[in-house]
Structure 1
Amino acid sequence: MSDFGYDSESVSPPESSAEVDYQFPPTPDLSHASNSWNAPSPTPSYPLISPTESLFTLPDFGSVVEELAEDVQDGDGSYIAEPWTSHTTAVTTVSQQTSYYPDLAMISPCSVTSPLFEFHSPAFSEFTDRPNRRALVDHFCNILSHLIVFREETGNPFQQLVLPLTRQSSPVLNAIFALASAHLEYRGVQNEEHSLFFHNQAIQGLGRLIEQSAKSNRNEILATIMLLIYYEVLVQRGRSNLVDGHLKGALTIMCTNPEPSDSTSIFLERAFRFYDVIAALSNGRAPLSAAPTAGCLMPFPPLGAPVASPLSNVDTLLGMATTLWPIIHRLSSLVTLKTDLQAAIWSNASASKIAVLRTELESTTQAIEAALSRWQPQLPPGFIPDATDSDDAEEVTTPTPHQPVDIISPTIAERSRLHSIWHNALAYRHSAFVYLYRSVHGYPRSHRAVQEHTHHSLLHCAATVKHEGPMGALLWPLFVAACEAVGERDRGLAEQAFEKVRKRQGMRNIERAWEIVREVWRRADAGEAGLGCGMEKGVNEQEGMGGPGGMEGGGGGDLWRQVSREMGVSVVFG
């Protein structure tokens, strides 16, 4: 038996998943590394792996295949290549990489060569000789990797940067197996080996990598941890705290070697920063990392992306929200600061301590509100959103004067994708206001400001799915706004968006989030929500404060936290 509780020779899944004990020293502060989030350094561009067709028969897909492929259409309605096609013949030649822009469903395969520089038949045999495992690599390349990024006009970063690590690191490959298998299992497709088995193999391998403590293993360790975070978010096993445990492990590794020197490190740290904030907002705690300084989060492009691109201002993982992310980061810290103030009041702390905490909370809240009011997405050159595409006329902005003249006009498909990404960013902005007013200020659900931003956020969520662009990062703004929806129109927008996101992404946390939203609506309609645990007077009035132990997340408006506790689930909205 290993230190992680599982025998490395086991070939069958254990009854429960292993809990990871990274055995790291206390988590250091990442403030000294906050300026390392600049544009990536050039590295050799690994080509994608995504063969034109699968060369092996996948196990028992049934109707799931049709559901996975039904959105794979190009702009004129004709079908592109289907991602799950079974063949028994071998491929003898590989066509050159095509440069067409991926369809908005982002699951149409590209005919390109392997990232490991060699091509074997059958496809993906350089990873494993087992057909069922090759099917998992195929699913990761042709389905999953496309569902969790905003930008990949010259390649998918998970294929370019993460997949090549499997040559040196079996834990990375096992984590890929676990993630792909879990995604298929949720869709009703059973592999010969369960996702939990691969998960435990990845955990054990991760422990061995950590024990080696070699600087050369940094990217392998971070990649394994981040893939395991994606796995935990997808699986959503009850009120698990494994996501936080993995994030702490990743932070420690990053702080041990704080200067990323290659694109892989920067990409993995960007993924950590995204999930660090999303997990903080989901769990009602402060982020583990220090807030990035303004302007240091430059858009991270795929390798080989041209400078003059219609997607030049789009980040791979954050979309058009790179300049918004430092504000969201500080917003997620407010609930902890508010809880500290409540605890000081209820414990009869000194007046000076209470005054200091109150002043800090008020000043930080005001600064964040002002920053959210001023913020607008940075539009790529050559792209101007349609004025009729949103009720927010003031949010249709024109490119800034300093943008280059030799721009490339986006194609029809690119414009639709850009509209979707633009709406996604604005949904984050409006839901950030909802979170600020409900969870921090404690305004009642019926408050005009709450309902105004709820409505606008849901409009943008609905527009995001209408344009059929990336939906991997939409769950948090959609959930926050949906919980506060009152009228039939807003609830209809929420239901429409949830259905399309669930169908596209196929992940358990989306289904769980929708269950929580419907229960929140039921209780709110039945009057069970009351006045938000006595918080309608806001954080500035002592008589409106709840007890420090009775308000997880520190927000009287967070009825959904109570609902999720009672349902026995803990959803990470990423």
Structure 2
Amino acid sequence: MAVGHLRRQRVNHDETSENVFATTALLLCMKEFIAGGEKPYSWRAHLDGAMAVLDKPTLERTLEREHLRKFGQTMQRLNLIFCLPTHAKLKPVCSSPFHFSSCDYFDQELGFSTAILHILNDIEQVAADMTALLHLEHTSKNQDIDMANLWASLMERIDALVKQSAVIMEDLDALKEEVEAATELTEHEELALLNQAYYHITLSQIQLRLLGHDVESPQVQESLASATHCILRIKFRSHASPSMALLQPAFIIGCFAYSSQTREQVLEVLDRMKKEQGRENARRARELLVELWERRDGEEGVEREERLRVRRGLGVPHRARGFEWSDLMAEKGWDLCLW
């Protein structure tokens, strides 16, 4: 139907035709999400094409079109999670301001609060500015530039990010106590756990990317262990539930996990997602993590120091010493479709 409509000359002026086109593009995007990443980045092309049609101001905003836009926006928000465990220059797709409390959720499919969007965006901006400062410091040694003042200003922004994260975690403490005391969690309480997991993960990225901690540092591993504790309490159900959203946090935790216990717990979550939900990208994520751990653990100290030296020379603020997941994924040509 979509191809037939695209052949029509008036496809750009016919609402039904464009709705069919957008629906097809969104379904192709969803297919790529769960297929395992054989076609790197193709889901983005499908999503961009669908939203370009659905956001056109010239067509009437019918109920069907609004449903499609909500579906597309959910996928766009998933893209935000793609920013979490990497120093790649990926920008959040949602740039409009939000005015919700820290416990308001976008929707039940995502499971994290709107307040995290600001932190994600700030992490990306501060990391980019840090990269620029490192490059400036490396190339302008003989110029009259007050580097100390520039670095002091950047550190103030980083400190503000840490404090902001701490405040949000304090806001969630009361809810955490309520969840911890429950013997049988409701799905709403499981969403609260998923939300907490994302904040612990985000805190680990601030520690890694902005504060200069190594992956092996107790602070980073403590943040990851707290996130793991949250996702392990989420129950696998026979219907759509928060367990459907566990692939992203489990994969991010796995990318930086060093203890055998945390690694085993991550694999347990991924195995259950493949078995009970049929998620092919969960299997791919498992394969990538196992190979990542093998290569990282087998890397000699000299190799680690050389890798760190190269990254510093490139002005990369990320301080992970070991072989990184992004290196391996690029080597394989995988996208893993939001993991």
1:270 and 2:73 are equivalent in the alignment: yes
Q: What residue number does 1:387 align with?
A: 180
State the distance in 1 between where 2:170 and 2:72 align.
Answer: 22
Larger helix proportion of the pair: 2
Moved more, 349-358 or 236-245: 349-358
Q: What residue number does 1:213 align with?
A: 12
* Residues 1:374 and 1:296: Cα distance change in structure 2 (over 3 Å): closer
Moved more, 318-327 or 223-232: 318-327
State the distance in 2 between where 1:465 and 1:374 align.
Answer: 28
1:249 and 2:45 are equivalent in the alignment: no
Contiguous gaps of at least 5 residues in structure 2: none
* Residues 1:422 and 1:224: Cα distance change in structure 2 (over 3 Å): same
Question: Which amino acid is 1:228 matched to?
Answer: L
1:435 and 2:227 are equivalent in the alignment: no
For residue 164 of structure 2, give the secondary structure of its aligned residue in structure 1: helix
TM-score, normalising length: structure 1? 0.47
Q: Which is greater in Rg?
A: 1
Q: What residue number does 1:91 align with?
A: none
For residue 443 of structure 1, give the secondary structure of its aligned residue in structure 2: coil
Q: What residue number does 1:191 align with?
A: none
For residue 321 of structure 1, give the secondary structure of its aligned residue in structure 2: coil
TM-score, normalising length: structure 2? 0.75
Do the aligned partners of 1:279 and 1:573 also contact (CA within 8 Å) in 2?
yes
Q: What residue number does 1:319 align with?
A: 111
Could you tell me how far 1:275 is from its partner in structure 2?
3.1
State the distance in 2 between where 1:375 and 1:225 align.
Answer: 37
Q: What residue number does 2:314 align with?
A: 547
Q: What residue number does 2:97 align with?
A: 293
State the distance in 1 between where 2:94 and 2:150 align.
Answer: 19
Aligned partner of 1:570 among 324, 331, 335: 335
For residue 213 of structure 2, give the secondary structure of its aligned residue in structure 1: coil
Alignment of 1:331-350 (within 5 A): 331-332=123-124, 334-345=126-137, 348=140
Could you tell me how far 1:521 is from its partner in structure 2?
1.7
1:223 and 2:23 are equivalent in the alignment: yes
Q: What residue number does 1:534 align with?
A: 308
Alignment of 1:19-168 (within 5 A): none
* Residues 1:502 and 1:523: Cα distance change in structure 2 (over 3 Å): same
For residue 430 of structure 1, give the secondary structure of its aligned residue in structure 2: helix
Could you tell me how far 1:444 is from its partner in structure 2?
1.0
Do the aligned partners of 2:197 and 2:226 also contact (CA within 8 Å) in 1?
yes
Contiguous gaps of at least 5 residues in structure 1: 1-169, 172-203, 300-311, 391-411, 536-542
Do the aligned partners of 1:324 and 1:375 also contact (CA within 8 Å) in 2?
no
Do the aligned partners of 1:498 and 1:514 also contact (CA within 8 Å) in 2?
yes
* Residues 1:212 and 1:332: Cα distance change in structure 2 (over 3 Å): farther
Question: Which amino acid is 2:78 matched to?
Answer: Y
Q: Select the structure with the greater relative contact order (CA < 8 A; seq sep ≥ 6).
A: 2
Q: What residue number does 1:426 align with?
A: 196
Question: Which amino acid is 2:167 matched to?
Answer: R
Q: What residue number does 1:451 align with?
A: 221
State the distance in 1 between where 2:218 and 2:235 align.
Answer: 26
State the distance in 2 between where 1:248 and 1:314 align.
Answer: 20
Question: Which amino acid is 1:505 matched to?
Answer: Q
* Residues 1:251 and 1:459: Cα distance change in structure 2 (over 3 Å): same
State the distance in 1 between where 2:27 and 2:150 align.
Answer: 38
Question: Which amino acid is 1:368 matched to?
Answer: L
* Residues 1:331 and 1:266: Cα distance change in structure 2 (over 3 Å): farther
Q: What residue number does 2:120 align with?
A: 328
Aligned partner of 1:462 among 232, 241, 245: 232
Identity of aligned residues (%): 18
Question: Which amino acid is 2:288 matched to?
Answer: I
State the distance in 2 between where 1:460 and 1:427 align.
Answer: 6
Do the aligned partners of 1:428 and 1:477 also contact (CA within 8 Å) in 2?
yes
Moved more, 554-563 or 422-431: 554-563
Do the aligned partners of 1:219 and 1:264 also contact (CA within 8 Å) in 2?
no
State the distance in 2 between where 1:330 and 1:206 align.
Answer: 42
* Residues 1:228 and 1:425: Cα distance change in structure 2 (over 3 Å): same
Question: Which amino acid is 1:385 matched to?
Answer: E
